Structure 1
Amino acid sequence: MDASVVHELFTDDGRALLASLPPYEEKNVVMLTTRLRAAGHSPELVAAALTQSRLQARAVDKFGDAAAAMFFTPDALEQATRAPIARLHAQRFLDAGASLVIDGGCGIGSDAVGLARAGLDVIGVEADPETAALAAQNLASFPGSRVVTGRVEDVAASLDQAGAAWWFDPARRTPGVADIRGRTKRTFSLAALTPTWDLIQHVAAAAPAAGAKLSPSLAHHDVPSGCEVEFVSYAGDVVEASVWWGAAVRDVGRTATIVRPRPGGSRSSGDRVPPDVLHVIEADFNGIDAAPASRASLGPYFYEADKALTRSGLVGALLDATGGHEFTPGHGYVTADALVDIGLLGRAYRVLDSVPLHEKTLRAYLRERAVGRLTIKKRDVDVDADALRRSLKLKGSNALTVVLVTLDGERLALVVEPL
């Protein structure tokens, strides 16, 4: 987006144009474009306003009602931290005694806004001038916060202040390389981060408190000594791995943080309905090592661990809660004899049946029960779920859920119902 057009959006006329737009619908874009140009608005401003309207509609999922007053770019929105998780980041810094946080790589300011709302002063650093301008607008209502345009590598020394904490959300996309949907291609390599992983570690280690938001695929062995790595899930999906240094560390080692929207709320509830949150730490559950599941231990209940537990290697919390046995260590599928309330640790199911995972056998089983809709869950069985579903040639009005597991060397389909 051209810098002059970005700044035109911030004028009274630009804001009025944005405010005048109806709720975004793709089917209305051509008609709106024609009408707005006929009203005298430049083609560039119309395109920019409609782009913002589209992005604001998408952003409701992460920011709730606050999205309507924020500015975005497509890549920055995708990497932006959800408002409920940004609040958790802010609480870390508050607990660490921070009053000023330097946000190195702030993007459009999603975390910076969360920090500022919590009462912290924020200095955002963003290399891209247009994105920095959007971040500055998103932070404009917080007098103690500002945005500096530049690379962290170039401005870190001049910005660092005694007692300042640091937060990093390094760019994880490769400039100039697009995926099949036209978005900048995502990278999962620590070596490809901007600012660099080496610089992040150097600055963070010297700060009184620091944190860095990294990919959920972060390997456990890449976590620096003495730090805490926190794998965070939201509504069942692992969305980040945050590494914490200094006073921001609560428990050295691995932590699983499970964030779940409350019943009656939604993924888009934003600030209106705070989610439920559970922290599971390595020191409490890493040593739990129940015997693997076997035919003899196959129970009437099945538990699916939240993915934050599996990524952090802390499925032991679910084993401890259920007294159960895991089918394949580390994958989070557990069988147990008792039905217990596991809270946020995962989801419980009743086991109705088990069927050998042979195509003909399973097809006959499903046809006998007129199953036309089949949900297939799997984590450790190398089967293409979509191809399997097609091969079963489902017919009927009933629905079933099956979980593919390996038990005593045999692949099974557990027929389950959620509880």
Structure 2
Amino acid sequence: MDRAELVELLTPEGLTLLDSVSFERPMDILTTVSRLRAEGHSPALVAAVIGQARLRSKARRKFGPFADRMLFTPAGLEQATRLRVAALHAGRYASAGLHSVVDLGCGIGGDALALASLDLAVTGVERDEVTAAIASYNLAPFPGSTVVRSEAADIDVAVFDAVFADPARRTAGHVETARLTDPDDYSPSLSWLWGLAERMPVGVKLGPGFDRARIPAGSEAQWVSVDGDVVELGVWSGPLARHGVRRSALVVSDDGTNELSASTDSEDESVRTLGEYLYEPDGAVIRARLIGDLGRRIGAGMVSDRIAYLTSDERVATPFAAAFRIVADLPLDEKTVKRELRTRKVGVLEVKKRGADIDPAVFRKRMALSGPNSATVVLTRVAGRHRALLAERV
């Protein structure tokens, strides 16, 4: 979205028209465009409304029904925190007894919304003109919130109780942006944020693959997964970091919120013989390096050194791992696996791999699948040897 599109939208006609449009199917877009043009609306307004309606439809995955009263940019929506996770962020500030928070790089205002909903005084800071205007619109229902267009480094953070920052990790702009690889090129830069964290409470949202070696000592690092996807790493300092917690994996799903935490990386469990059940730890558990703690919790051992699968003889239900019952332990040989799948009449195959240099899509294609049954094959190492484990989800 550019400035001209925003100007078209931020009028009574534009907002009323936007609220009247929604898409349930792709074909609805052409029908809606034709209808709006026939009603006499300008091409520029129609384009702005259609673009924003498409973003709202996409945003429901992150913001639920709240998306239907918000505005977005494509880049802002991509980086915005899911509302369920933003609420957990906000809860840290409220629990720590903090009252005023400056949100540096607030984007379209997702985290600021969650903070404001807990009656915290929030000042969002955003350097991009269009994004700042959209954040102001999104935060309008909260009188205790405000948005300032500025570079983060130009803000006097000392007048606030705490800082939240979601640094821009892509080049400036709204389309065709590129990912930044050097954290010191983020906006605001991590070195500057780490400096702030030495003297005041600071929370920083980062990508889940962030270099662990650059996490400041003494801070709490929490990896978060939502519905099986690892979505972020949160680094918390001062009273925002919980006592005795330095590593944690937060797993959010329709079944609720569950957490595995520790004071440090956990040591892996010993390798054991392959049992009846295989566990694939959630990505947040793997990122947090808490596989050993998970293994001890469910009575499982490693299938092989440095391979993030666990195995046990008894199935133990856990929110921190997907469980599979092993139905066949096969050599990792295409002909052998193909023959077994044909015998079992497997037509739908899920291919997982860890510790095996194999392209799952190519492997699946070579199996020439046919039949009414489905299965999972795990291509990995068991006690150091390459194996293909035919399994079923439980």
TM over 0.5: yes
The match for 1:28 is 28
Residue aligned with 1:44, SS: helix
Instruction: Give the CA deviation at 1:329.
Output: 4.4
Match for residue 92 of structure 2? 92
2 CA distance for matches of 1:405 and 1:204?
A: 41
Correspondence list, 1:343-382, <5 A: 344-382=319-357
Alpha carbons 1:29, 1:50 under 8 Å: kept: yes
Q: State the secondary structure of the residue aligned to 1:231.
A: strand
The root-mean-square deviation of aligned C-alpha atoms, in Å, is: 1.9
Higher normalized contact order (CA 8 Å, seq sep 6+, divided by chain length): 1
CA distance in 2, matches of 1:139, 1:22: 22
Letter in structure 1 aligned against 2:189:
T
Amino acid at match of 2:202: A
Give, in whole Å, the separation in 1 of the partners of 2:274 and 2:289. 22
Indicate yes or no: 2:196 matched with 1:198. no
1:238 to 230, 234, 250: 230
Q: Residue 277 of structure 1 corresponds to which residue in structure 2?
A: 257
Q: Residue 326 of structure 1: which of 282, 302, 305 is its match? A: 302
The alpha-carbon distance between structure 1 residues 34 and 160, as it changes in their structure 2 partners (threshold 3 A), is farther
2:391 is aligned with what amino acid?
V
CA shift, 1:304, in A, is 1.3
Count residues with an aligned counterpart. Answer: 393
Check whether the contact 2:224–2:284 (CA below 8 A) recurs between aligned residues. Answer: yes
What displacement does 1:142 show? 0.3
Matches within 5 A, 1:335-350: 335-342=311-318, 344-350=319-325
**Cα distance change, pair 329–246 in 1 and its aligned pair in 2 (3 A):** farther
1:188 & 1:32 partners in 2: Cα distance? Answer: 40
> Is 1:261 the counterpart of 2:254 in the alignment?
yes
Q: Which letter maps to 1:375?
A: E
Does 2:215 align with 1:223? yes
1:138 is matched with 138
For 2:341 and 2:313, locate their aligned partners in 1 and report how far apart those are by CA, in whole Å: 26
Q: Deviations over 1:151-191 (max 9, x none)?
A: 1022x22x531x52100001111236x9xxx6422334313
SS of the residue aligned with 1:175?
coil
- Cα shift at 1:330: 5.1
Distance in 2 separating the partners of 1:369 and 1:101 = 59
Change beyond 3 A, Cα 1:160–1:38: farther
Q: Look up the SS of the partner of 1:184 in the other structure.
A: coil
Partner residue in 1 for 2:5: 5
Structure 2 counterparts to residues 12-411 of structure 1, below 5 A: 12-23=12-23, 25-154=25-154, 156-157=155-156, 159-161=157-159, 163-175=160-172, 183-207=176-200, 209-250=201-242, 251-262=244-255, 276-283=256-263, 286-293=265-272, 297-329=273-305, 331-342=307-318, 344-411=319-386
Q: Which amino acid aligns with 2:366?
A: S
Over the matched positions of the two proteins, sequence identity in percent amounts to 40
Q: By how many angstroms is 1:23 displaced?
A: 2.7
* SS of 2:198 mapped into structure 1: helix
The answer to whether the 8 Å contact 1:24/1:53 transfers is no
Query: Counterpart of 1:194 in structure 2: which amino acid?
Result: S
Equivalents in 1 of 2:277, 2:291: separation in Å? 16
Cα 1:76–1:22 shift into 2, 3 Å:
closer
* 1:412 partnered with 2:387: yes
Conserved 8 A contact 1:313-1:330: no
- Listed one character per residue, the Cα deviations across residues 356-406 of structure 1 (whole Å, up to 9, x for unaligned) are 110111111111222111111122222110111111212222211111120
Gaps spanning 5+ residues in structure 2: where?
none
Deviation at 1:70, TM superposition (A): 0.6
* CA displacement at 1:332 relative to structure 2: 2.8
Cα distance per residue 1:135-159 (max 9 Å; x no partner) = 00100000000100111022x22x5
Q: Matched residues in 2 for 1:328 and 1:75: separation?
A: 41
**TM-score, length of structure 1 as denominator length:** 0.89
- CA distance in structure 2 between the aligned counterparts of 1:304 and 1:409, rounded to whole angstroms: 17
For the structure 1 residues 29 and 186, does the alpha-carbon distance in structure 2 shift closer, same or farther, using more than 3 Å as the test?
A: same
